[in-house]
Structure 1
Amino acid sequence: MTTTTSAHGVPVHRAISGASATDIADSVRERVERGVFAPGDALPPVRALADELGVNRNTVVAAYRLLTQAGLVEARGRAGTRVAAQTPIAQEGFAAGTVLRDLGTGNPDPTRIPDPTAALGRIVGRPVLYGEPVIDPDLDAWATDWMRAAVGPERGFRLTITSGASDAIERLLAQTLTRDDAVALEDPCFLASLNTVRLGGYRPVPVPMDAEGMTVDGLRAALDAGARAVVATPRAQNPTGASLSAARAAELRAVLADHPYVLVIEDDHFSLLSARPYQSLIPEGHQRWALIRSVSKFLGPDMGLAITASDPDTAERLARRLNPGSTWVSHLLQRLGHALLTEPKAIAAVEEASAHYAARNAFAAEKLTAAGVAVSPGDGLSLWVPLPAPARDVSEQLMRRGWLARPGDAFALEDDAAARHLRLTVHDLSDADLERLASDLAAAIAATGSPPPPPKAG
């Protein structure tokens, strides 16, 4: 009989049974569904449950991983594994059912996504059957050149195609890590990466951010804490908009050079839209690495296509999780992506979108700063707006003025400063709407009792 502690500190007896990972997971699931386990209750430590059931420790680890992937439990580091509260997790996208002007979407402008109509007629060809190469030949050739320009001619790599960047990150972590392994994440962090790590049963280790990207001391501390993987954004970091400087990238490479078998994942999600140069934190000769570039920001989230370049060993293990016949990415989708990425009209549309996002964010930052809310435009689809008051208080005041904003604490692991930021997606607002937003944001801050600095002169 297993004894654990309830969320209220009261010892609770409940029998967990099973000889296989599936049986143990089903036993826990049944007790959660019956209410025997309540949200916040701690599951037995892995070793203790393995000893009690007479099974290998890895069997319990696998059971807890199944439960974590199902969202029934969550790993909390030293606090152990606990039954998860069934509350919605923060996601990107439009808020459902709101009549407010939504500034929290993180979406690209749909009018700036190239029209695929003409390309669709050109991609139909011979059907692809089981056992054929999983990467369409034309996309393979184009993507190889694209990635070689980024990683350098001397670095050997192989390509993998996945259903978006989050799919690639999930598979990369799964083929390298086991439950409770530590993953270094930017803090504040992109929601999809944070959710992928938590739902995978890994332990997120925060690395503070500044205007040049991951901090050197933060990365060093995460590696000292046992991080076996690092997920970083080389440019247009979400939510801060930071991009790695050349100097910072060199410093980070120097730190990682002492950890050649730590998996380094770069999510270059803004690639073709970014005005900043690509700077890599992957050291020369590093053993485990991956560069991911999805098309979601410039060809649309519904494309569900990402290209990953990685070292050959990582690529081989990743390919085993994308075996033909089950989980390859549709060749029709690959052909459409290639057609758009090589079509002059579509390329021009992406370049125009890049200039549009930069110009609108710069204009919005100028208006907000003039209203007393100093903002640096950064890079990406959104602005990271510092506040002199708690973001949730300010967002509540903005709601009364017709705006729905995303408080920064949704992106934070440990960064207390994030709770005094808003992430605002404003590139689709008119000049008049931006003027009104700037005025309303200043008024919302004042309504919390924390008046902003005086408006900028001139």
Structure 2
Amino acid sequence: MSDTAEPHVPPGIAGTTAGEISGSVRDLVDAGRLRPGDVLPPIRDLAEGLGVHRNTVAVSYRLLVAAGVAETRGRHGTLIRALPALEAEGGTAPAGQVDLASGNPDPRLLPDLMAAVATMSYSAPLYGVSTTDPALEAWARDTMGADLPHSSFGVTVTNGSVDAVERLLTARLTRGDAVAIEDPCFLASVGTLRINGFRPLPVAVDTEGPTPDGLRRALQDGARAVVLTPRAHNPTGMSRTAARTAEVRAVLAGYPHALIIEDDHFSAISHQPYHRLITEHTSQWALVRSVSKFLGPDLRLAIVASDLDSAAQLNARLRPGTTWVSHLLQRLTATLLTDPRVASRLRQARRAYPQRSATLAESLADNGITVHPPADGVNLWIPLEAESSAVIKRLADQGWTVRDGAQFAATPTSSHNAIRVTTATITPAQARRFAAALAHILREQ
């Protein structure tokens, strides 16, 4: 009789094929008998315990990872996957704090939605109508068509830009595929990739836009999609220059299979020009323009102009009679976008936001603090030599709430020792006081 102990197989894991073994693990997860963070047996031990080849267990584990049930941690083994912790914009600053962290627009620069509702023409549709409101589609084809090299393109309406990017990626990619994203990156983009199991490949950003070398490396490493911001990049405020756009275009020309998504979230109030990344030779592309930053965050709506195949993929998931975006919201958006009074409000916002960022940048410069040039948007990016979390704590002690640059890292190994300051509502007096407080803290570090 052998003294060697039989390999332990957790109760419930069974099967002789990779599909059967992975299915039994998924049953245990669904029943709550395996919890996030639980470690699965080493491949060799489980193979011996079940009497199957090690390759069979290895394939079953790969199936679990592909399904988003498990994740590999190298020498730490294969674990049941937990829902990733995701940062988000907004939130409420503690009582007594000046909120320079939210990423929100200035409510005073947003149009009056209820006044527009009272004046708009609207007849409630029933099941089976087109998913896109005719008035909004006409506006999109007129305004977005002027920015596209293709005369033929599809128009789709989604529940905001994050929804659009997620739908485009999940329509074209599978879990585990790589996506090139800016680093630092928009919080929601990071979250979209993590929650769907896509692999982010960071592309460094400087004052002119995403770096060509960084994008080339990401594409060489297998990126099947590229998500970039043409202007008012969140968190840095960068807007891609014409020269950098040409360089990035040249890189993309060598990867015709890649899906190119441009998230132009600040379009209607940007004071920077849109430099088109998409060319007549781009086969898979989408230009996404949401309205949240200039019509209001509660208007969860984005307009997507894309190649016809991508539009068909999106529309298949926004079918008439099931999951379309409310025509009431679409008609309200079309009404606002064609209202001369709203146009005047948008011009006011286009002037105000860069002035406020410039005011803070000047106050910081007066105190010896260098920042990224405030190109566009509602945020200012302040690189630090001192450790950012300690600076943020000291600022909070003095009544200022800001965002830690580390939260905008595209990957866990990225490092951004910086703070992001939302300037949408900052006053000149607040800018002077904040700059003085930050300078004092940095001198003491």
Q: TM-score range by the shorter chain?
A: 0.7 to 0.9
Q: Give 1:282 shift.
A: 2.1
Map of 1:364 onto structure 2: 360
Contact 2:103 2:422 in 1 (8 A): yes
Whether 1:266 aligns to 2:257 is no
Whether 1:141 aligns to 2:168 is no
Whether 1:209 aligns to 2:210 is no
Map of 1:430 onto structure 2: 427
Could you tell me which amino acid in structure 2 is paired with residue 102 of structure 1? D
Q: Give 1:373 shift.
A: 1.1
Greater Cα offset, 240-249 or 161-170 = 240-249
Whether 1:289 aligns to 2:285 is yes
Map of 1:110 onto structure 2: 107
Map of 1:160 onto structure 2: 156
Q: Give 1:98 shift.
A: 5.0
Residues 1:400 and 1:302: Cα distance change in structure 2 (over 3 Å): same
Residues 1:403 and 1:41: Cα distance change in structure 2 (over 3 Å): farther
Deviations 1:39-98 (A, max 9, x none): 2746989xx99988989x79974x656646xxxx56779998644456742110024655
Greater Cα offset, 85-94 or 430-439 = 85-94
Q: Percent identity?
A: 46
Could you tell me which amino acid in structure 2 is paired with residue 313 of structure 1? D
Equivalent position SS for 1:317: helix
Q: Give 1:319 shift.
A: 0.9
Alignment equivalent of 1:174, drawn from 163, 170, 177: 170
Q: Distance in 1 between matches of 2:345 and 2:25?
A: 49
Equivalent position SS for 2:144: helix
Q: Distance in 1 between matches of 2:74 and 2:192?
A: 16
Q: Give 1:146 shift.
A: 1.1
Deviations 1:89-113 (A, max 9, x none): 2110024655422211000001110
Equivalent position SS for 2:416: helix
Q: Give 1:243 shift.
A: 1.1
Whether 1:303 aligns to 2:299 is yes
Deviations 1:276-302 (A, max 9, x none): 110122232111000000000000110
**Unpaired runs of 5+ in structure 2?**
1-7
Give the alignment of 1:338-357 within 5 angstroms. 338-357=334-353
Could you tell me which amino acid in structure 1 is paired with residue 435 of structure 2? A
Map of 1:222 onto structure 2: 218
Whether 1:389 aligns to 2:389 is no
Deviations 1:132-152 (A, max 9, x none): 111111111111111111113
Contact 2:124 2:328 in 1 (8 A): no
Residues 1:315 and 1:396: Cα distance change in structure 2 (over 3 Å): same
Residues 1:354 and 1:232: Cα distance change in structure 2 (over 3 Å): same
Contact 2:356 2:427 in 1 (8 A): no
Give the alignment of 1:315-354 within 5 angstroms. 315-354=311-350
Residues 1:318 and 1:367: Cα distance change in structure 2 (over 3 Å): same
Q: Give 1:253 shift.
A: 1.0
Residues 1:58 and 1:112: Cα distance change in structure 2 (over 3 Å): farther
Map of 1:256 onto structure 2: 252
Contact 2:14 2:21 in 1 (8 A): no
Deviations 1:402-444 (A, max 9, x none): 1111110100135988532100002312222111101111122
Whether 1:406 aligns to 2:403 is yes
Contact 1:183 1:231 in 2 (8 A): yes
Equivalenced residue count is 428
Q: Distance in 2 between matches of 1:24 and 1:335?
A: 49
Q: Distance in 1 between matches of 2:99 and 2:284?
A: 40
Alignment equivalent of 2:126, drawn from 129, 147, 165: 129
Whether 1:232 aligns to 2:228 is yes
Higher Cα Rg: structure 1 or 2?
2
Q: Distance in 2 between matches of 1:125 and 1:174?
A: 33
Alignment equivalent of 2:375, drawn from 378, 381, 385: 378
Contact 2:122 2:331 in 1 (8 A): no
Q: Give 1:336 shift.
A: 0.3
Q: Give 1:29 shift.
A: 2.6
Residues 1:145 and 1:86: Cα distance change in structure 2 (over 3 Å): closer
Q: Distance in 2 between matches of 1:44 and 1:227?
A: 30
Give the alignment of 1:51-66 within 5 angstroms. 61=63, 64=65
Contact 1:208 1:415 in 2 (8 A): no
Q: Distance in 2 between matches of 1:265 and 1:30?
A: 35
Contact 1:187 1:415 in 2 (8 A): no
Q: Give 1:27 shift.
A: 2.2
**Unpaired runs of 5+ in structure 1?**
1-10, 450-458
Greater Cα offset, 386-395 or 120-129 = 120-129
Could you tell me which amino acid in structure 2 is paired with residue 269 of structure 1? H
Alignment equivalent of 2:37, drawn from 33, 39, 46: 39
TM (norm. structure 1) is 0.85
Contact 1:43 1:83 in 2 (8 A): no
Contact 2:103 2:379 in 1 (8 A): yes
Q: Distance in 2 between matches of 1:157 and 1:30?
A: 42
Greater Cα offset, 221-230 or 119-128 = 119-128
Equivalent position SS for 1:205: strand
Q: Distance in 1 between matches of 2:174 and 2:405?
A: 30
Q: Distance in 2 between matches of 1:332 and 1:59?
A: 46
Map of 1:186 onto structure 2: 182
Equivalent position SS for 1:184: strand
Map of 2:27 onto structure 1: 27
Contact 2:286 2:305 in 1 (8 A): yes
